[in-house]
Amino acid sequence: MTLSRLSAALLLGASFGLGGAALAADVDVPGVPESEDAIAIPTHNWSSQIVMSHVVGDLFEKLGYNVEYTPTDSQAVYEAIRKGDVDLEMEVWEGAYGPAFEAAKAKGGIVDAGNHDAVTREEWWYPEYVKDVCPGLPDWKALNACAEKFAAPETAPKGRFLGGPVDWLKHDAERIEALDMDFSVVNAGSASALWAELASAEKRKAPIVLFNWTPNFIEAVYKGEFVEFPAYGEGCKTDPAWGENKTETYDCGNPPDGYLKKAAWDGMEKKWPVAFKLLQEISFTNEQIAKMAELVDVEGLEADEAAEEWLDQNEAVWQPWLDGLRS
């Protein structure tokens, strides 16, 4: 911190008890913050995204930026960014949001802020003991052959596929239709409802197939596998002629090695150039993201506490990003 900023912070501290957020920067980069307006960071309904958003918000605050968190629907967020209602997105999952992001980008107003190191997969998943009930897994045809074993009262005689909240928009019903499967989708109301059903099924060793993804805390707690659907290919989600069903889209699985992207409002680079540069630099690994989820879903921390804990444990990861902004 320069002398003049230090004395300004002390003065403010003296008159208001504690320093104002914007002047309490622990990393001094000349000219930052370029605007005192809060950077609006949207949060969704799964743990890693909320924790990661707070991690990045805390890093912005270390630089002296003001930050606000805005709970936002995970599909609608791409339009919200285009309009500048919120300023960035930390987790664009290719399987779930690739199409929404690409559509928004084509309209203008949202930019690609680079990929995380992480490789992602979002897919139907079952705990390991289900293999004994349903031989031939992870092949989707084997799953379908024993669909009735997954039946619930509201789906019988069809099997129940427990999907995530509807805003995750996974097109599971379209896939079931395109592949002519004997399953019905039941959507969980929240991520924690998914995990509660998994825990309960696991205790009874009851057959269950549900939506899951990686990186997630699940791999640290349960053994299990993703279902293998016909391999994803370009065109599966848009071109009915693609794949084994010639008249329907979604006759494939999600990409097994999807990207995880950051995105930003296209005005961010002008309004907060250094924050935008930091956003571009930031890249998390599978392991780091799984840990963010674990701090909440296993260790029971609130998202903001989990972010602080994560930052405490990973200074060697983020300090170089901040140091790089001085040059």
Point out which residues bind ligand TMO (CB under 6 A). Answer: 46, 93, 96, 122, 164, 168, 213
Token pair of 184 as six digits: 């019905």
Q: Which is nearer to ligand TMO, 122 or 297 (CB)?
A: 122
Q: How far is the CB of 72 from ligand TMO (least distance, A)?
A: 13
Residue owning tokens 């099997």: 159
Q: Could you tell me whether strands 67-71 and 39-43 are parallel, antiparallel, or unpaired per DSSP bridges?
A: parallel
Q: What DSSP assignment string belongs to 9-68?
A: HHHHHHHHSS--GGG--SS--TT--S--SPEEEEE-SSHHHHHHHHHHHHHHHHTT--EE
Cis before 215 (ω within 30): yes
Rg of the chain over all Cα atoms, to the nearest angstrom? 22
* Calpha distance 23→5 (Å, rounded): 7
Residue ranges of alpha helices (H) inside the chain are 3-16, 47-62, 77-82, 94-107, 130-133, 140-145, 172-178, 191-204, 218-221, 268-271, 273-281, 286-297, 303-313, 315-324
Q: Which is nearer to ligand TMO, 96 or 188 (CB)?
A: 96
Q: Which is nearer to ligand TMO, 75 or 319 (CB)?
A: 75
Q: Which is nearer to ligand TMO, 33 or 42 (CB)?
A: 42
Q: How far is the CB of 290 from ligand TMO (least distance, A)?
A: 12
Specify whether the CB–CB gap between 143 and 175 falls below 8 A.
Answer: no
Q: How far is the CB of 306 from ligand TMO (least distance, A)?
A: 16
* Calpha distance 273→279 (Å, rounded): 10
Q: How far is the CB of 219 from ligand TMO (least distance, A)?
A: 13
Q: Return the SS3 of 206.
A: coil
Q: How far is the CB of 90 from ligand TMO (least distance, A)?
A: 12
Q: Which is nearer to ligand TMO, 78 or 93 (CB)?
A: 93
Q: How far is the CB of 171 from ligand TMO (least distance, A)?
A: 12
Q: Which is nearer to ligand TMO, 86 or 275 (CB)?
A: 86
Q: How far is the CB of 113 from ligand TMO (least distance, A)?
A: 18
* Calpha distance 28→49 (Å, rounded): 27
Q: Which is nearer to ligand TMO, 61 or 172 (CB)?
A: 172
